Structure formats: C-alpha cells, structure tokens
C-alpha cells in the first residue's frame, strides 16, 4: 500500500465515511506491505547482492505479521479515530458473502523467515497503516471532520 486513496486503506476511509458499519472479509489472510517498506527492503537486498552475499533464489519480502482484511480494516479505523474521525465499526464477514469479479484465495500470507534471517525485520503493516491514515485523514474525511 502507498500514499494514495486508491488502495485498501484509502478505499476503506472513503467508503467508511459517514457509515456506522461496513462489511469486511475476515477469512482472507495476507501480508499487507507498505510500498516504503518494500522499497527499503529491496535496497537492502541490492546492497547484499552488491557485496556478493549469497542469497536464496526465493526470498519473500512482505509486510508482517500476517493478518486478515477485517483486522487491517479495524486497525485503519482505529488510527482514524485516533485523529478524531468518527469511523465505522467493522462487521466481519466470510469471503462468500462479499462477491467480487475475481475469486480470491483465502491464504496469501508469505513466509518472511528467510528475509528476516538474512536482511532484518519485515516491514510492519500496523505502524505503516497508522502513518498512512494520518497522511490521508484530511483527503478522505475532509478537514472539518476532525476539528481542523
């Protein structure tokens, strides 16, 4: 996820505006990855390669820890509430209750154990989500919605 309103966080903030509750899938697990953390991780990998450090052919760089879309949505709205925004409650639903054009797998979480052993900690989606929300609150909710 990045710094626009056109990703999961941005869409949640816009869609949730003025609502008491929104449905969010609670049985899909993944690793939300902040673009800034991915960029830093790729630079760290490039430095290792430049220094001729042997790396495995498969090395997953992803946000950590694994989470559900509903948990990520709750963290997003908690961060918005911390900025004085009235945020909706997340109603946890199953994937089959939320039709989408494309079928989505329930588990897309990647193991980052090799990356963490060789490079360092994976980007933490929780702190990056809080930062992303703070940067977007005015755009998603308007500056008058939180006393500003």
Supply the pTM of this predicted model.
0.87
Q: What is the pLDDT of residues 63-107, one digit of tens each?
A: 999 999 999 999 999 999 999 988 999 999 999 898 777 788 888
CA dihedral sign, ordered 30, 33, 38, 39: positive
Q: Are 148 and 138 in contact (CB under 8 A)?
A: yes
Q: What is the pLDDT of residues 96-125, one digit of tens each?
A: 898 777 788 888 999 999 999 999 999 999
* Average predicted confidence (pLDDT) for the chain: 90
Q: What is the pLDDT of residues 18-39, one digit of tens each?
A: 999 999 999 999 999 999 999 9
């Amino acid at each position: 996820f990045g710094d626009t309103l056109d990703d999961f966080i941005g869409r949640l903030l816009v869609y949730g505006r003025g609502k008491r509750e929104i449905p969010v899938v609670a049985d899909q697990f993944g690793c939300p990855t902040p673009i800034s953390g991915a960029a830093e991780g790729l630079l760290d990998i490039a430095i290792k390669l430049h220094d001729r450090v042997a790396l495995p052919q498969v090395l997953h760089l992803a946000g950590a820890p694994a989470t559900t879309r509903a948990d990520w949505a709750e963290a997003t709205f908690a961060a918005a509430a911390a900025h004085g925004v009235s945020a909706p409650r997340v109603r946890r639903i199953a994937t089959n209750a939320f039709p989408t054009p494309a079928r989505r797998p329930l588990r897309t979480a990647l193991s980052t154990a090799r990356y963490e052993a060789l490079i360092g900690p994976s980007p933490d989606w929780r702190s990056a989500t809080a930062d992303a929300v703070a940067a977007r609150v005015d755009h998603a909710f308007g500056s008058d919605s939180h006393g500003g």
